[in-house]
Amino acid sequence: MENVSKIWLGPLPADSPYVKPFRMYYIQNGVEKNWDLLKVHDSVAIILYNSSRQKLVLVRQFRPAVYHGVITSEKGTFDSVDLQSFPPSIGVTLELCAGIVDKSKSWVEIAREEVLEECGYDVPVERIEEVMVYRSGVGSSGAKQAMYYCEVSDADKANSGGGVDDEIIEVVELSLDEAKRMLQKGAVNNSPPSCLMGLLWFFANKAPAAV
């Protein structure tokens, strides 16, 4: 997956379909203020639990934004990328199955498709339960994300997952002990807060009693 052989940066094209930045101006209590922000797609995320094996099902992938963020957290802005000093593996994340909302379908149907495409489980929408709806990136994008929970079994497995088109996504099964370790201080998986939130929610609401 981290088979990334070259990385370089360029300006954002004006017609980017993914990142649309602008400045919002507003008058609050009589004072003119402004805030720089961007429009990104709304999204869904799904907490997947395979009860046949008592495993949580997550995905690993190379995330360009995380790769860039890890480097800038360490050394500030940069122009060229030294793959020896900063191997692509530093940009690999462990996340919940997720996807952007860009289709004329219901959100839960999009969640159903992501579960099938990324993780290979074919389940009807009736088995996908809404957990919470919230806003990500309140300082920069304010995009909506809906989180769902779905319990699956080996009988639901329809394919090996891994994404569609040119996505490179690895399906990862975590034991409940492994998932608990992700929530300890000092664990570093480049995971987003939504993933950690989903795991905490699972342990509070769905995990087998003995865990």
Q: Which residues, 56 to 95, sit near a copy of itself by CB under 8 A? A: 62-70, 72-73, 77, 88, 91, 93, 95
Q: Rounded to the nearest whole angstrom, what is the least distance from the CB of residue 60 to a copy of itself in the complex?
A: 12
Q: Site mask, a copy of itself, residues 117-136, x = CB under 8 A?
A: -------------xxxxxxx
Backbone angles phi, psi at 110, to 5 degrees: -65, -40
Q: Are 42 and 143 in contact (CB under 8 A)?
A: yes
Which of 13, 80, 104, 210 binds a copy of itself (CB under 8 A)? It is 13
Q: Site mask, a copy of itself, residues 162-191, x = CB under 8 A?
A: ----x-x--------------x-x-xxxxx
CA distances from 65 to 55, 82, 90, 107, 192 (A): 28, 16, 11, 25, 12
Residues in binding contact with a copy of itself, number by CB under 8 A: 86
Interaction between residue 140 and a copy of itself (CB under 8 A): yes
**Which of residues 59 and 119 has its CB atom nearest to a copy of itself in the complex?**
59
Q: In this structure, how many other beta carbons lie within 10 angstroms of the beta carbon of residue 132? A: 14
Which of 49, 114, 128, 141 binds a copy of itself (CB under 8 A)? It is 141
Angle at 93 between CA 57 and CA 122, to 5 degrees: 30
Interaction between residue 110 and a copy of itself (CB under 8 A): no
Helix (H) or strand (E) holding 173: strand 170-175
Beta bridge mates, 36: 23
